[in-house]
């Protein structure tokens, strides 16, 4: 019996301009980009998300992926072709795919995303899918705002959300 959670996941941590990052990959791509204060905190989060996985620190394929994730944070205008292995419900997958289509510098509302996936009454469920997103930055849930234009919660903190949005605005203005 094979379960996706019984994967071998390679992971690495690195400091970044928005805090400590943990990037984890499986056979099909990135399964997690987590942001926090310490590597230990992030490793605990990874273990909770993938309790049956074999976790391997610093495997051979993780360094270039970490570099690409750091570049995506530092230069949000650069296109990212990082392979993702998004794991969630079909609804979450629809939300996350819609988020990936949002260009850097744009800030749709939760309602906009709900409409984009054909579920206009699912605004709260869209917000929940954003909160459950395990792939920070690469699935840009930080771009989603409230209908009144204010920033809503962000799994990794509103200060990080503000920083990511400010970086994207700066790159959008420079383009």
Distances in whole angstroms, Cα of residue 140 to Cα of each of 44, 57, 90, 94: 23, 25, 18, 13
Structure tokens at 78: 């650069």
Q: Which of 18, 141, 164, 165 is catalytic?
A: 141
Enclosing H/E stretch for 85: none
| 130 tagged catalytic | no
Residue 145, classed as helix, strand or coil, is strand
Taking every pair of Cα atoms in the chain, the longest distance, rounded to a whole number of angstroms, is 52
Structure tokens at 165: 């949005």
Among the listed residues 110, 106, 101, 88, the one whose alpha carbon sits nearest the alpha carbon of residue 154: 110
Residue with tokens 């203005």: 173
Q: Which residues are catalytic?
A: 141
């Amino acid at each position: 019996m094979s379960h996706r959670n019984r994967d071998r996941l390679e992971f690495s941590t690195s400091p970044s301009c928005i805090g400590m990052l943990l990037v984890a990959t499986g056979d099909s791509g990135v399964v997690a980009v987590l942001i926090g204060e310490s590597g230990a905190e992030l490793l605990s989060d990874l273990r909770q998300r993938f309790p049956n996985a074999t976790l391997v620190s610093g495997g051979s394929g993780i360094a270039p992926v970490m570099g690409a994730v750091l570049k995506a944070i530092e230069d949000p205008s650069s296109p990212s072709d990082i392979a993702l292995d998004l794991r969630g419900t079909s609804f979450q997958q629809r939300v996350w795919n819609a988020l990936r289509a949002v260009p850097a510098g744009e800030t749709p509302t939760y309602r906009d995303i709900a409409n984009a996936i054909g579920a206009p009454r699912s605004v709260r469920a869209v917000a929940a899918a954003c909160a459950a997103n395990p792939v920070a930055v690469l699935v840009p849930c930080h771009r989603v705002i409230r209908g009144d234009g204010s920033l809503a919660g962000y799994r990794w903190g509103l200060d990080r959300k503000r920083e990511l949005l400010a970086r994207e605005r700066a790159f959008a203005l420079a383009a």
